[in-house]
């Protein structure tokens, strides 16, 4: 199959926009209901920190679900597994709206995540199908632009929808968006890989293991995943930190969340511009040390209790720097995985969300011990990402 450069503008605009829509369902499903934690807790007569378990189960679903789609997309082509995932997402989203108790919501969120991660896995595999490694880093930067819009608009929309119609309406809305996306995929998205009968589903584990044994894949995937897990620590704990600890209203919290999203969007677009002049791996060599320095500042701010502004500044810098780290780490992980791009996409995605789920659970536990546990966990993620990247060189 021909590999396209980003200079092929028509191909880039049409295909990548559809792929970006597919990657948006994961962030949308996470961010839109964050301002509703208090209302969900009140609805089920429980505490807000127990509602966080529905976010942890979502991360767990993203970890497991991506492994299901990887080999399937290499075996059956990209679009059939994508159809299945979107339909599952629609059904479980509607079920979430009618969950009778918190335990049911936690289970349904797990299943909803399995549906949503079809878009994450298959969109990344399609990027690898269609674009050269250098061009793919630019495409991933564009995907982050669209994924970054979700954190800006989703919490604001979630706060408004919850106030007017109740938290259940959030899940009806995302189900409706998935139906629309399903129609667009059917009409506009081309199939980028023909079915391959040589790929056996029962051979999934050996294929995944062979991908994991690739030193280059492991280096880029682990360092990028650990760095990104700091973002999920922020997503998980930020409602409690900024609403409960610092006393912000849900609306002000949504604006704060959106401001950090602007940072990662801006840096991702700067990364796309730099990629026209510099190799993606060289950019990663510079951006990971910057992230480590910011991580130290974040830990110092939390340790010395610098207050709201003292935490917000290094937090903004951490989230923004991910806009340069993540696209280049993803491009590096998939660069040499031509025939098993779907499987490699599944493995790297599962690794990232396994780490994210563990970090989400860790920040939930440590949050009972310290109000600002989030900043210490994020700082640890940034430092560990650089250490892993150096050790696996």
pTM more than 0.75: no
CATH no. for residue 101? 1.20.1250.20
Asked if residue 339 and residue 206 are part of one domain, the reply reads yes
Angle of helix 102-130 versus helix 48-76 axis, rounded to 10: 40
Is residue 345 domain-resident? yes
Tally the domains of the chain: 2
Asked if residue 153 and residue 249 are part of one domain, the reply reads no
Range(s) of the domain holding residue 278: 202-392
Is residue 344 domain-resident? yes
Asked if residue 179 and residue 34 are part of one domain, the reply reads yes
Helices within 213-340 (DSSP H only): 215-238, 250-274, 280-303, 307-334
Asked if residue 178 and residue 260 are part of one domain, the reply reads no
* pLDDT for residue 2: 45
Asked if residue 367 and residue 261 are part of one domain, the reply reads yes
Is residue 197 domain-resident? no
Instruction: Give the domain-ending residue among 167, 192, 217.
Output: 192
Contact between 317 and 297 (Cβ < 8 Å): yes
Query: For residues 253 and 236, what is the distance between their CA atoms, to the nearest angstrom?
Result: 13
Low-confidence ranges of the chain (pLDDT < 70): 1-14, 133-134, 144-152, 199, 201-203, 337-342
Asked if residue 211 and residue 85 are part of one domain, the reply reads no
| List of residues 6+ apart from 206 with CB closer than 8 A | none
Q: Name the residue with tokens 């969950």.
A: 99
Measured at the CA of 329, the angle between CA 323 and CA 331, to 5 degrees, comes to 105
Query: For residues 317 and 321, what is the distance between their CA atoms, to the nearest angstrom?
Result: 6
Is residue 327 domain-resident? yes
Query: How many beta carbons lie within 10 A of that of residue 285, not counting itself?
Result: 13
Asked if residue 238 and residue 126 are part of one domain, the reply reads no
Asked if residue 141 and residue 261 are part of one domain, the reply reads no
Query: For residues 319 and 259, what is the distance between their CA atoms, to the nearest angstrom?
Result: 10
* pLDDT for residue 337: 65
Asked if residue 138 and residue 213 are part of one domain, the reply reads no
Query: For residues 114 and 93, what is the distance between their CA atoms, to the nearest angstrom?
Result: 11
Percent of the chain with pLDDT over 90: 26
Q: What are the structure tokens assigned to 214, written together? A: 């690739």
**Interval 115-129: pLDDT, tens:** 998 888 888 788 877
Instruction: Give the domain-ending residue among 192, 225, 257.
Output: 192
Asked if residue 242 and residue 152 are part of one domain, the reply reads no
Query: For residues 241 and 261, what is the distance between their CA atoms, to the nearest angstrom?
Result: 17
């Amino acid at each position: 199959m021909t590999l396209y450069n980003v200079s092929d503008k028509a191909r880039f605009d049409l295909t990548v926009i559809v792929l970006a829509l597919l990657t948006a369902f994961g962030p949308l499903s996470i961010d839109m209901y964050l301002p509703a934690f208090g209302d969900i807790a009140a609805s089920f007569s429980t505490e807000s920190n127990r509602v966080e378990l529905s976010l942890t189960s979502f991360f767990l679903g993203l970890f497991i679900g991506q492994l299901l789609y990887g080999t399937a997309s290499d075996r059956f082509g990209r679009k059939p597994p994508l159809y299945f995932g979107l339909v599952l997402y629609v059904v479980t989203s509607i079920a979430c709206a009618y969950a009778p108790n918190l335990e049911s919501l936690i289970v349904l969120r797990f299943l909803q995540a399995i549906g949503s991660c079809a878009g994450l896995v298959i969109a990344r595999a399609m990027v690898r199908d269609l674009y050269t490694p250098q061009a793919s880093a630019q495409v991933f930067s564009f995907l982050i632009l669209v994924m970054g819009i979700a954190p800006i608009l989703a919490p604001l929309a979630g706060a408004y929808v919850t106030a007017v119609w109740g938290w259940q309406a959030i899940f009806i809305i995302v189900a409706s968006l998935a139906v629309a996306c399903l129609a667009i995929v059917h009409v506009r998205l081309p199939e980028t890989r023909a079915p391959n009968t040589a790929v056996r589903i029962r051979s999934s584990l050996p294929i995944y293991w062979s991908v994991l044994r690739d030193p280059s894949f492991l280096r880029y995937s682990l360092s990028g995943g650990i760095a990104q897990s700091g973002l999920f620590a922020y997503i998980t704990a930020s409602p409690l930190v900024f609403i409960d600890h610092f006393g912000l209203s849900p609306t002000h919290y949504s604006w704060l969340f959106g401001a950090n999203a602007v940072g990662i969007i801006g840096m991702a677009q700067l990364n796309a511009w730099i990629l026209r002049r510099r190799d993606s791996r060289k950019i990663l060599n510079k951006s990971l040390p910057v992230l480590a320095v910011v991580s130290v500042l974040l830990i110092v701010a939390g340790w010395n209790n610098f207050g709201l502004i003292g935490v917000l500044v290094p937090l903004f810098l951490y989230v923004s720097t991910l806009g340069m780290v993540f696209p280049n780490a993803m491009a590096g992980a998939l660069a040499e995985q031509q025939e098993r791009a779907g499987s490699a996409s599944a493995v790297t995605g599962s690794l990232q969300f396994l780490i994210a789920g563990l970090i989400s659970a860790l920040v939930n536990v440590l949050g009972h011990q310290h109000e600002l546990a989030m900043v210490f966990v994020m700082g640890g993620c940034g430092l560990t990402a650089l250490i892993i990247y150096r050790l696996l060189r």
